[in-house]
Chains A and B, each alone.
Chain A
Amino acid sequence: MVPGTSILHPAKGAAPGADPITTALREQQDLSAVEQFAAWHDNHATPGPHRLYRNLLPAAEPAPGQQYAFEVDLDKCSGCKACVSACHSLNGLDPDETWRTTGLLVSDDWRHPFHQTITTACHHCVDPGCLNGCPVLAYDKDPITGIVRHLDDQCIGCQYCVMKCPYEVPRYSPARGIVRKCDLCSRRLARGEPPACVQACPNQAIRITLVETAELLARHRGATRARAPKGSAWLPDTPDPALTVPTTLYQTRRVLHQPVRAADREELRPQPAHAPLVFMLVLTQAATGLFTFAPIAADPSAGTSQALPLGVAITLLSAGLVASFFHLGRPTGAWRAFLGLRTSWLSREILAFGLFALLGSLAFLATATAAPVLPWPPAPAALAGWVAVLCSVMVYADTGREPWRFAVTAPKFIGTAAMLGSVLALALGTLSGAPAERLAGLCLASIASGLFKLAADHRPLRHLHDDDFLPLHKTALLQADRFGGLDRTRAACTWLGAVVLPAWIAIATAGAAMHPGLPLVRSGALLAALLALAGEWIERYLFFVTVQYRRMPGYPAS
C-alpha cells in the first residue's frame, strides 16, 4: 500500500470487516484475559502471609499487668513508609485517611549528620487522653490486650479526642461525622496474624511486643523521670510521655547526637478555627457575666426590672449552646454526654451548662412573669455559669497543650465573662434607665475587666522572642505575625469597647453632666458592647487557630 492513500478512507481495504477503532475500543474494555492467570492462583492457594512473620509477634498473650505495644527498631527503618500505605490498603480506609504517619528527626549538628524516619500510629497509651476526654465513652481500653479501641457507632463527632491526643491519632472525617483510629489490627492479632504495618515493613522494623504497664508508668510519671531530660525518656522533640504514657517502644543502638529535633519543628501550623466553639465559648461566657452583673444594671428594689438583662443573658446562653451542636458530627447521640463524667472535662462542661441553662431559665421566668410565687434570684444561675466557665477552662487546660495551660486560659475565659458581662450590663442599663451611680460602677467594672483581659491576651506574646520554636514561641509568632492584623484589631476593639467608651460614659455622666438616658450615651454604650463582643470573637478565633503544641515529628514543607 502506498503511504498516504488510505488516510481518508482508512477502514477500506486495510482491515476487511470490523472498523479497527471499534474493535480496539471493544477489546480494550474486555477483561477476560486475566482469568486464565487468576485461575492458576486459585488452584494454588497458599497459607496466609503471617507464616512469614511469626517472629514479629509475642509468643504469648499479655499476662496481668502487661499489654500489647508496637516496638519500632529505628535502626532497621529505612524510611520507605510502606507501613502507611499498607495500613491504608489492608484496613480499607477512606482515600485520604491514614492511621499511621511518618516524620523525620534531624540533628542540628552538621559535623554529625543524622536523620531518622519516625513511623507512628496509635500508641495505645496506658492512660489514654482520647479515652479520658471522650464525653460518651466511645473509647475502650481492652483489659487484656490494652488495645485502645474506638467505638465508631458510639462516637458523636465532638473531636475532643483530637485535641486530647498528643499524637494526633484520632482523625475526624467530616463525611462520616466521626473520628476513626488504629486498633492495632486487633482482629488480625486475635487470629495470630500481624497488624498490617508489621506485615508490610520490608525491613521488619515494626513488631508487636508485650510491655509492663507499671514499668511504663514509673518510667514516664514516676520519681526516676525527673532525672532524665524532658522527652528523652521516649523520643526527642515529641510530646511529654507523662501526659498519656504511650506504650510504643522506639529502639536504637545509635547514639542520637544532641540536639536532635523534629524536622518540621520550625513550621507554624494554624489550627482549625472551630467556629461553633468560638460562638459557644464567647456567648456562654457573656451570659455568665451578664447573670452576674444583671442585679447591678437592674435592681427590682430600685424599680427597674431584670427581665431585659436576664432575657438577653438567657438568649445568649441558648444561642451559644445551640451553636455548640453545630460542632458535633452526630449530634443525635449528644444526650449520652453524661457518660464520661468520671474523667472527661467535656462531660462536666456539658452538664454544668445544662444546670446553668436550667437555673438561668428559672431566674428569667421569675423576673419576666414578675411572679413572686417564683422568687428565683439570678445568683444561683450566675454561680452555675462560673462553674461552667471553669469547666470550659479545664476542657482546654486538660489537653496538655502549653499555650492552653490553666494559667493562660483561665484569665482569658474569666476575663471574657467579666468584661462582656459588665459591658453588656452597662448597655442594657442605659437602655432601661439605670441610675448613674450604678452605671458608673459598671463602667469601672468593665474598665477593670477590660484591662485585665487585654493583659491576659497580651501574655502569650511574651514568648515572641524565645527563638526556640517551641509551642509557646510558635503560638506567639502566629499571634503577632501571621494573624497580627487580626490581633491588633482585637486589641483595638477591647480598648475601645471595654475601656475607652465606658470611661467616656463614666466621665460624661458623672455629676449629672449628661443624663444616662440620652441617646448619645445609649449609643455609646451599645457600641461599646458590640466592640467588646467583636474583640472577644476575634480573640477566641485566635485562641483556636494560633495554638501550637508538641507533636510527633512530621515533614517540613508539607
Chain B
Amino acid sequence: MNTAQTNAPTWLRRWDGPLTADLTLRPTDFGLGLVPARLAPTATTTMVCGYCSTGCALKIHLQDRQAVNLTPDPDYPVNLGMACPKGWEALTPLRAPDRATQPLLRDPRTGRLEPVDWDHALQVFTLRFQALMDQHSPESVAFLSTGQICTEEMALLGALFKFGMGALHADSNTRQCMATSAVAYKQAFGFDAPPYTYADFEESDVLVFIGSNLCIAHPILWQRVLRNPRQPEIVVVDPRTTETALCATQHLPIRPKTDLVLLYGTAHLLIANGWIRRDFIEQHTTGFDEFARFVAPFTPERVSRETGLTMPQLLRFARTIAHGRAVSFWWTMGVNQGHESTRTAQAIINLALMTGNIGRPGTGPNSVTGQCNAMGSRLFANTTNLLGGRDFTNPDHRATVARILGIPQERIPDRNSLTYDQILDAIDAGAIKGLWVIATNPFHSWIGRDRLHALLDKLEFLVVQDMYSSTDTARHAHLILPAAGWGEKEGTFINSERRIGLVKKVARAPGQALSDFRIFQLIAHYWGCADLFRAWTSPEAVFQILKRLSAGQPCDFTGIRDYQMIEACGGIQWPWPEHETSSRGHAATIHALRTSLRERRLFADGRFPTPDDRARFLFEPPRPAPDQPDAHHPFILLTGRGTSAQWHTNTRTGKSEVLRQLYPQQTYVEVNPADAARLRIVTGQTVEVSSRRATVHATAVVTPAVQPGHLFMPMHYPETNRLTVPAFDPHSRQPAYKHTAVRLRPVTARSLSTTQP
C-alpha cells in the first residue's frame, strides 16, 4: 500500500504487530461492510431503539446469541441506516457496574438496603401493599410507571394493578411528556391519533415547528426534513435560537409561553384574509364559527405586543401557511409542557383544520412524541385510559374489556385514576401511603422535585423497580426490584408515527434481574391473582390479547398476525385491521407493507372518530404563565433537552463514556451575552440560580441562543427541577416546565472559570 513501508527494515520501523492488530477491521456479511475483527458478528437481528419515540431500528451484531455491537438498520423505513449517538451507544448502559442485580430491602434497624432473594422480596411486596390496602383502602396505593417499557409489560402492569390487585391510582412519566397531545387529539379528533407518517417531513412545502428542537431532540427525524426535495419553507417558533431555529427560513423568537396568543393571532389573520378552506371546514369540522368569533380580538397589534414579534413577522407567517400547498405543523415539549398546553396543541390543530392541511401527504397537526413507547402507554397502560384507548367510566367499554379478557366486569374500576400530580398531592394528604415506581426517576425529573423529599416521610412503602439501584429515586426506596432493560427482553414499542416495532432479548440480564414482564407475572402469582392472567403467558401472548383489545377501535391492528410479521414488514403502523390482511393474503400483505403501504397517514377521507365524524375546534382565552418575573426574580428560566447525547435524567446515557464526552458534565445555565456583560459573568464561571423555591449552583455558558432576560437549563441535570414551578395544564395535568422566574448572580470571580484536567 505504501512505498515508504519498504524504506526502513521492519526491526527498525514496525508497521504491524499486536497493537496494530487490535484495530483490525474485517469484512462481514449482513450488509455491514468492514467491522472491528474482534466484534465481527456471527448473526445479526434488528430491533427498535429504547430511547426516544422516533423508533429507529438498530441492527444488533450477535456473537453466540449475545449482542457485541450494533449499527443502524439501512432498510428500516424510520431511520434509513442512521442513529443518533444514544442509539449507537444503546448497548453500553446494559453493562454498567451499578446495575441492580438482586432485590434489595431496607433494613429498618440499620437504614441500609440489604440483598434479599426474590421470594422474600415478593412476599414483602405483597404483604406490605395488601396490608396498606386492607388497613386504609384500595386507594391508598399507587404506581408511577414509564414510557420506556414494552407495551405488553405496560398492559400487564395496568391490568394486574387495577383488575388483579384491585387498586385504582396509577399514572406514568408520560404525564410529563405526552399527556397534552393525547388529550388534545382525543378532544379534537375523538381518539388519541397522531395522524402523520414520517414521509410527511419529506412531502411538505411548509414545515412549522412549534416548541420543537427537532435537530437535537429527534435528530434522525431532521434527516427526513433534509431529504425533502421541495426546498421547503421552515418556520420555527421558539424563544431560543436553537439548532433547529438556525436551520429555519423563518424563526419566530416569541416571548416564553406566548405561543397560544401567536396561534390565535395567526388564525385571526388567516380568517381576516380569507386564507381558509371553507369547504373542508363545513364538511369535516364543528365549532368554526365560534372559533372565528373568539379569535377576532387577536389583532396583529395585540399579538405583536404580547409575543414580542413584529407585525411583518406575523403577516409573513400567516401568508406562508396560506400559500403552502402542503403545510405540516410539528410540536413537541415546548407546547406540551405549558400551563395551557392542551389549548395550545388544539390551536395548532385548529390551524391545520381551517386550512385543510390534514389527511394529505405533507400535512397534519403532528405531535412528535417523546419516549420510545409513549404511544404504547397511551393505548395500553390502563392508567388514564382503559385498555385500547377506552374510557373507565363507560360501562360498555368496561363490558367489552371484561369480555375480551375473560374477567368479571366488576374487577374493572368505573372511576378514573388520579393523575401524577394528584397522586403526589394524595401522598401529601396522607391518602396514599404505598408507591411503586417503575423505570422512572421522579426525584430528578418531577417539576419542583424538592417536594418529593418532603413526601418521603409520608410514604410507608416505596418500591422502585429499575435497571439501576443508583437512581435518585432508588436511593430512597424501601424495596428495590432489579429489572432487565431494553435488549434483555422481548416486546413491542409504538413510535410517534404509530409504527409498532419489535424489541428483542439480545443480552443476558445481570445477576437476578428479571424483565418487568416476569416481575409482574410473579407479583400476580404472589398476590394470588395469577388465575386472571392465565393467558398472559409471554409478551407475544399478550400481544395477541392487545390485538383483540384493539379490534374495532381506531387503533385496530388485528391484521398483524404476530411478531414475525412485524419483523418481516419493518414495523407496522396502526391501524391495520384484520380485513386488510385477509383480503390480500399474508404474503401479499407483507409485500404491500414493505412497499406501497409502508408509510400511511390518517384521515385521508376527512372523517374523524367522533360521534358525528367531525373534528372539533377547541379554544379558551389565554392566561398569563404562573410564576411571573419581578424585581427579585427578573429572569425567565426555560428548560429542555441539552444535547442529543443525553436522555432525560441521564440514568442510562450517563453510563457511556463516549456519550459523556458529548455533553457538558457540569450543570450549566445559558445566559445571553448582554446579561452576562451586565452581571460581569463569563463562560465557565460558577453562578447561582434562585427561583422562589430553591437555589442551585451552575456553570455559566454565555450564548446568544437565549434572549436577553431568559436563561436555559437542560433537564438532564438534577438541579434544574429544583427550580421549576409546580404548575399544570388543567386539561392534561401535564407539568409546565418552560416558564420559571429566577434570579442570577455570579458566585466565583471571573478568573476562576476552571475545568478539571
> Is A212 interfacial (CB-CB < 8 Å)?
no
Closest CB in chain B relative to A330 CB, distance in Å: 9
* Candidates B45, B123, B241, B664; contact of A7 at CB < 8 Å: B123
Q: What residue of chain B has the Cβ atom nearest to residue A254's Cβ?
A: B246
B89-148 CB contacts (< 8 Å) to partner A? 89, 92, 117-119, 122-123, 126-127, 130, 134
Q: Mark B38-52, 1 if CB is under 8 A from A, else 0.
A: 110001111000000
> Is A59 interfacial (CB-CB < 8 Å)?
no
Please, how many angstroms separate the alpha-carbon atoms of A545 and B754 in the complex?
12
> Is B631 interfacial (CB-CB < 8 Å)?
no
> Is B583 interfacial (CB-CB < 8 Å)?
no
* Inter-chain contacts of A32 with B (CB < 8 A): 65
> Is B229 interfacial (CB-CB < 8 Å)?
no
Q: What residue of chain B has the Cβ atom nearest to residue A19's Cβ?
A: B119
Chain B binding surface, main DSSP class: mixed
Residue among A35, A81, A180, A185 having the largest count of chain B Cβ atoms under 10 Å: A81
Q: A482, B752: Cβ atoms under 8 Å?
A: yes
What are 21 A-B residue pairs whose CB atoms fall within 8 Å in the complex? A1-B528, A10-B123, A10-B525, A24-B521, A33-B505, A41-B43, A78-B216, A79-B643, A85-B645, A88-B89, A90-B35, A113-B703, A140-B2, A153-B17, A200-B88, A202-B219, A263-B703, A266-B702, A481-B751, A482-B754, A557-B755
Please, how many angstroms separate the alpha-carbon atoms of A48 and B33 in the complex?
5
Q: What residue of chain B has the Cβ atom nearest to residue A40's Cβ?
A: B567
Q: B664, A557: Cβ atoms under 8 Å?
A: yes
> Is B541 interfacial (CB-CB < 8 Å)?
no
> Is A3 interfacial (CB-CB < 8 Å)?
yes
Q: A263, B701: Cβ atoms under 8 Å?
A: yes
Partner-contacting stretch, out of A103-111, A347-355, A429-437, A502-510: A103-111
Q: A38, B45: Cβ atoms under 8 Å?
A: yes
Q: B665, A557: Cβ atoms under 8 Å?
A: yes
Q: Taking beta carbons and an 8 Å cutoff, which residues of B are in contact with A?
A: 1-5, 8, 12-20, 22-23, 25, 27, 29-39, 43-46, 59, 62, 65-66, 69-72, 74-75, 79-85, 87-89, 92, 117-119, 122-123, 126-127, 130, 134, 165-166, 215-216, 219-220, 222-223, 226, 241, 243-244, 246-247, 484, 488-490, 502, 504-509, 512-515, 518, 521-522, 525-531, 564, 567-568, 643-645, 657-659, 661-668, 672-674, 682-685, 699, 701-705, 707-708, 749, 751-757
List 4 other contacts, CB 8 Å, given A48-B32, A142-B1, A153-B17. A10-B123, A34-B65, A35-B43, A42-B29
Residue among A20, A37, A263, A480 having the largest count of chain B Cβ atoms under 10 Å: A37
Q: A76, B226: Cβ atoms under 8 Å?
A: yes
Q: B664, A193: Cβ atoms under 8 Å?
A: no
> Is A4 interfacial (CB-CB < 8 Å)?
yes
Please, how many angstroms separate the alpha-carbon atoms of A15 and B530 in the complex?
9
A160-191 CB contacts (< 8 Å) to partner B? 176, 178, 180, 185, 187-188, 190-191
Q: B23, A92: Cβ atoms under 8 Å?
A: yes
* Inter-chain contacts of A556 with B (CB < 8 A): 664, 668, 683-684, 699, 701
> Is A270 interfacial (CB-CB < 8 Å)?
yes
Q: B85, A78: Cβ atoms under 8 Å?
A: no
Closest 6 CB pairs of A and B: A92-B36, A153-B17, A80-B219, A85-B88, A46-B31, A557-B664
* Inter-chain contacts of B752 with A (CB < 8 A): 481-482
Q: B215, A80: Cβ atoms under 8 Å?
A: yes
Partner-contacting stretch, out of A94-102, A416-424, A449-457: A94-102
Q: Taking beta carbons and an 8 Å cutoff, which residues of A are in contact with B?
A: 1-8, 10, 14-15, 20-21, 24-25, 27-29, 31-42, 45-50, 52, 76, 78-82, 84-86, 88-92, 95-96, 98, 101-102, 106-117, 137, 140, 142-144, 151-155, 176, 178, 180, 185, 187-188, 190-191, 193, 199-204, 263-272, 336, 339, 469, 477-478, 480-482, 545, 555-558
Q: A98-B658, A151-B13, A267-B684 are in contact. Are A178 and B701 (CB under 8 A)?
A: no
Please, how many angstroms separate the alpha-carbon atoms of A7 and B484 in the complex?
24
Q: B705, A113: Cβ atoms under 8 Å?
A: yes
Q: What residue of chain B has the Cβ atom nearest to residue A90's Cβ?
A: B35
Q: B243, A152: Cβ atoms under 8 Å?
A: no
* Inter-chain contacts of B1 with A (CB < 8 A): 142, 190
* Inter-chain contacts of B662 with A (CB < 8 A): 81, 84-85, 102
* Candidates B34, B82, B514, B749; contact of A187 at CB < 8 Å: B34
Q: A101, B661: Cβ atoms under 8 Å?
A: yes
Q: B666, A41: Cβ atoms under 8 Å?
A: no
Closest CB in chain A relative to B43 CB, distance in Å: 4
Closest CB in chain B relative to A45 CB, distance in Å: 5
Please, how many angstroms separate the alpha-carbon atoms of A477 and B750 in the complex?
10
Please, how many angstroms separate the alpha-carbon atoms of A27 and B243 in the complex?
45
Please, how many angstroms separate the alpha-carbon atoms of A117 and B644 in the complex?
12
Closest CB in chain B relative to A294 CB, distance in Å: 38
Q: A264, B683: Cβ atoms under 8 Å?
A: yes
* Inter-chain contacts of A1 with B (CB < 8 A): 528-531
* Candidates B12, B44, B65, B220; contact of A41 at CB < 8 Å: B44
Please, how many angstroms separate the alpha-carbon atoms of A52 and B79 in the complex?
13
Q: B222, A115: Cβ atoms under 8 Å?
A: no
* Inter-chain contacts of B45 with A (CB < 8 A): 34, 37-38, 41
* Inter-chain contacts of B4 with A (CB < 8 A): 140, 142-143
Q: A109, B19: Cβ atoms under 8 Å?
A: no
* Candidates B14, B508, B522, B668; contact of A153 at CB < 8 Å: B14
Q: What residue of chain A has the Cβ atom nearest to residue B524's Cβ?
A: A14
Q: B15, A153: Cβ atoms under 8 Å?
A: yes
Q: A85-B658, A107-B704, A202-B82 are in contact. Are A20 and B567 (CB under 8 A)?
A: no
Q: What residue of chain A has the Cβ atom nearest to residue B245's Cβ?
A: A113
Q: What residue of chain B has the Cβ atom nearest to residue A264's Cβ?
A: B683
Please, how many angstroms separate the alpha-carbon atoms of A142 and B5 in the complex?
9
Closest CB in chain B relative to A156 CB, distance in Å: 11
Q: A153, B19: Cβ atoms under 8 Å?
A: yes
Q: A6, B528: Cβ atoms under 8 Å?
A: yes
* Candidates B74, B130, B241, B522; contact of A20 at CB < 8 Å: B522
Q: A89, B70: Cβ atoms under 8 Å?
A: yes
Q: B754, A268: Cβ atoms under 8 Å?
A: yes
Please, how many angstroms separate the alpha-carbon atoms of A556 and B88 in the complex?
24
Q: What residue of chain B has the Cβ atom nearest to residue A2's Cβ?
A: B528
Q: A4-B528, A41-B46 are in contact. Are A272 and B484 (CB under 8 A)?
A: no
Closest CB in chain B relative to A118 CB, distance in Å: 13
Please, how many angstroms separate the alpha-carbon atoms of A38 and B527 in the complex?
37
* Inter-chain contacts of A263 with B (CB < 8 A): 683, 701, 703
Residue among A47, A92, A95, A264 having the largest count of chain B Cβ atoms under 10 Å: A92
Residue among B484, B644, B751 having the largest count of chain A Cβ atoms under 10 Å: B751
Closest CB in chain B relative to A468 CB, distance in Å: 11
Closest CB in chain B relative to A135 CB, distance in Å: 12
* Inter-chain contacts of A76 with B (CB < 8 A): 226
Q: What residue of chain A has the Cβ atom nearest to residue B703's Cβ?
A: A106
* Candidates A20, A137, A199, A481; contact of B13 at CB < 8 Å: A137
Q: What residue of chain B has the Cβ atom nearest to residue A80's Cβ?
A: B219
Q: B34, A80: Cβ atoms under 8 Å?
A: no
Residue among A85, A101, A200, A480 having the largest count of chain B Cβ atoms under 10 Å: A85
Please, how many angstroms separate the alpha-carbon atoms of A85 and B3 in the complex?
33
Please, how many angstroms separate the alpha-carbon atoms of A263 and B673 in the complex?
12
Please, how many angstroms separate the alpha-carbon atoms of A458 and B225 in the complex?
56
* Inter-chain contacts of A107 with B (CB < 8 A): 704
Q: A31-B66, A142-B2 are in contact. Are A200 and B82 (CB under 8 A)?
A: yes
Please, how many angstroms separate the alpha-carbon atoms of A96 and B673 in the complex?
34
Q: A37-B567, A52-B81 are in contact. Are A117 and B243 (CB under 8 A)?
A: yes
Q: A49, B33: Cβ atoms under 8 Å?
A: yes
* Candidates A10, A49, A112, A115; contact of B703 at CB < 8 Å: A115
Closest CB in chain A relative to B469 CB, distance in Å: 17
Q: What residue of chain B has the Cβ atom nearest to residue A140's Cβ?
A: B4
Please, how many angstroms separate the alpha-carbon atoms of A215 and B32 in the complex?
37
* Candidates B62, B81, B89, B704; contact of A38 at CB < 8 Å: B62
Q: What residue of chain A has the Cβ atom nearest to residue B18's Cβ?
A: A153
Closest CB in chain B relative to A104 CB, distance in Å: 8
Q: A90-B36, A270-B754, A545-B757 are in contact. Are A25 and B512 (CB under 8 A)?
A: yes
Q: A78, B215: Cβ atoms under 8 Å?
A: yes
